Chain A
Amino acid sequence: MPFDVYLNVAVAGILTGLVYGLMALGLSVIFGVVRVVNFAHGEMMSIAMYLAVVLFSTLHLDPLIMLIPIAAVMFVLGYALQAGLINPFINRPEHTQFLLVVALAIIIVNVLLIIFGPDAHTVQTSYAYDSFQIGPVIIDASKLYAAAAAVVVALLLFGFFRFTLLGKAVRACADNYTGALVVGLNVHRLYALTFGIGAACVGAAGVMMTLIVDVTPMIGPVYTLLAFVIVITGGLGSMAGALVGGLLIGLTEALAGLLFTPSAKSMFAFGILVLVLLFRPQGILGRRVA
């Protein structure tokens, strides 16, 4: 195969990887702050994807525009979920939290199945088949827009945590639960806020994903696992790590799909996860926490 093919596939993989990164960023924020294993993460993303499908088919809104309202809806959903259901569980054993979220995931998948049926839905934008050519590289327009939007959202989030007082408060909760309580932070409310932010993140990623893949109710669990792989590969608690992990996994999947067979691509993602867990358990950009 000519080198151009590899280059094209690699670029496509990196662009998809950036959207993966945004999805994982949502998980990283939730996991890193609330310390709850959100096993309904991919399912939450599929809710956003279906919202995008509905908005597109009824109002013909461009996914890049509906990004904002859908992220807002997902924020409210995530906030309510944490405040109403998960907050009482934060000091319970991991397996209890796990079961709670798994039950939630089962409900989401099957409610979507009842409403939308098992068939795949797509969002056919006017630019679905457009592309840009830079030298030998042909870049898919949808993927480029999706990746660009993912980067913008990630930067906004980064700014929020770095430069706002609220973001600082959330980071304080993540660093030291008891300490945050002692200095008078309303940890439960901040947890709800964080879960909302994570949900908005994955919601935005979901809208972007509709530009790249078709949506069925069954993709939820697949992306839940993928998000975990990315977060742990990149480094838990590291926001840049989630993006880097997303890039790495996106690239790996794309190249594995080309070199072997597309159906085996996630095997390589899991392979990378195993290697990272063994040789750098804190993740590529993570720091060791005692």
Chain B
Amino acid sequence: MASLFARIADDTPRRVWILLVALLAAFIVAPWLINDYLVTVLIVILYLAYTGQAWNIMMGFAGQLSLGHAIYAGLGGYIAAVLFTRYGIGPWIGLLAAMPVAAFCGAIIGFLAFRFGVAGVYFAILTIAFAEFTRIGFDHLDFVHASSGLFLPVKQLSHNDLWLLRGSPRMFYYVILAATVVAFVLCRVLLNSRMGYFWLAIREDERAASAAGVPTFRYKMYAVMISAAVTSFAGVFYAFFYNNLFPEQVFNISRSIEMILGPIIGGIGTLFGPIIGAFVLTGLAETLNAAMAALGIDLPGAKQVLYGVCLLVVIVALPEGILPWLSRRLGLDESAS
């Protein structure tokens, strides 16, 4: 199931290009046509598409199941927020610190796991362990105000300050849209590179890849580090968009699970999968919200039960995800069966 996109692009480049440009155009004009609430919903969708894309590098491309990606987003958010609140350093400079730190953290986890032959489910549990360890650690770290949370000053500005990431939802929307586009292009480039082919080889059969001369250890390390660095931007964005960070929230395992639901539902290892998955899942959640409100049901948990049931139905009915099924339906991808 090598890069679906690459195969589509090779066969029918024009159709896909038109689709992509239309999609991008729709995204660019969208915030001027809808209200602020829907803009925030779109921000959530793009945020999940972005993080899903980042996670996909590690799992979808290189086959390493991480269930602790919240650690990279959380570290990114905390680093940028601390630099901003304590030293007045802006988020884009903060990002320059966040990305290497997240990559380094990924490198530590990857190094320990891959060196000691921790793989599969064990690797997944190790990533959770690191994320939970960090969550509880930050919960007791006074430097970041421990469990009482770190807050960014909120100021009413007459104009959008892109440099300091202070402004209206619409500005944040374009920031995360740009990031999603960058991540998409990055993944496309990576997939079609030597590294991408090595990753796919490792994903499909690590022993065979190793026997064929792929330096599996080194390329798995690259996957973790790139994925972690890309994810850390999401954390910076989160910090400046929501203006508050609680270890209990940003490092929570449910953050990690949120990130991976999109790509799995959408189609793991594909470029459009994380985007479709984010759309479907957030759309589902919002629809359930609206339906509950319309029916006057105010029962905590009811929405989540329906959400869980929908997840269950999707995974039972479309175990490969939506995209492979969709592209088969549309006849875009004859070879996938």
Contact = CB atoms under 8 A, between A and B. Distances in A.
Contacts of A264: 136, 139-140
Contact of A100 (B126, B140, B312): B312
Interface string A30-47: 010000010000000000
B136 A113 contact: no
B136 A270 contact: yes
Nearest to A273: B129
B118 A281 contact: yes
A264 B139 CA distance: 8
Contacts of B121: 31, 37, 94
A85 B311 CA distance: 13
B89 interface: no
Interface of A is mostly: helix
A103 B315 contact: yes
B43 to A, nearest CB: 23
Interface string B261-302: 100110010000000000000000000000000000001111
A106 B253 contact: no
Contacts of A270: 129-130, 132-133, 136
A99 B305 contact: no
Given A110-B304, A221-B253, A281-B118, A92 B319 contact: yes
A102 interface: yes
A186 B266 CA distance: 34
B301 A95 contact: no
Contacts of B153: none
Given A103-B315, A267-B137, A232 B125 contact: yes
Chain B, interface size: which category? Answer: 35 or more
Given A37-B121, A232-B125, A281-B116, A274 B133 contact: yes
Interface in B50-64: 59
Given A114-B305, A277-B116, A99 B129 contact: no
B122 A114 contact: no
A270 B307 CA distance: 30
Interface string A246-266: 000000000000000101101
A261 B129 contact: no
Interface in A62-121: 85, 88-89, 92, 94-96, 98-100, 102-107, 109-111, 113-114, 118
B185 interface: no
Contact of B129 (A103, A111, A229, A263): A229
A277 B129 contact: yes
B257 interface: yes
B223 to A, nearest CB: 15
A271 interface: yes
A113 B116 CA distance: 41
Interface in A105-159: 105-107, 109-111, 113-114, 118
Contacts of A96: 264, 315, 319
B126 A277 contact: yes
A280 B120 CA distance: 16
B42 interface: no
Given A111-B301, A274-B130, A103 B137 contact: no
A55 to B, nearest CB: 23
A142 B65 CA distance: 40
Contact of B139 (A98, A111, A228, A263): A263
B128 A225 contact: yes
B129 A113 contact: no
B300 A232 contact: no
B104 to A, nearest CB: 17
B308 A266 contact: no
A95 B65 contact: yes
B268 A95 contact: yes
A182 interface: no
A281 B312 contact: no
Contacts of B65: 94-95, 98
A278 interface: yes
B305 A261 contact: no
Contact of B304 (A94, A95, A106): A106
B182 interface: no
Contacts of A278: 112, 116, 118
A99 B125 contact: no
Contact of A267 (B67, B120, B136, B312): B136
**Which of B113, B120, B300, B308 has most chain A Cβ within 10 Å?**
B308
B309 interface: yes
A145 B44 CA distance: 49
Contacts of A110: 301-302, 304-305, 308
Interface string B83-126: 00000000000000000000000000000110011101110111
Interface of B: 59, 65, 67, 112-113, 116-118, 120-122, 124-126, 128-130, 132-133, 136-137, 139-140, 147, 253-254, 257, 260-261, 264-265, 268, 299-302, 304-305, 307-309, 311-312, 315-316, 319
10 contacts: A88-B316, A92-B319, A104-B312, A109-B301, A114-B300, A263-B139, A263-B140, A264-B139, A273-B125, A278-B116
Given A98-B67, A118-B300, A270-B136, 11 more contacts: A96-B319, A99-B311, A99-B315, A102-B257, A106-B305, A107-B305, A225-B132, A263-B136, A266-B132, A267-B133, A274-B133
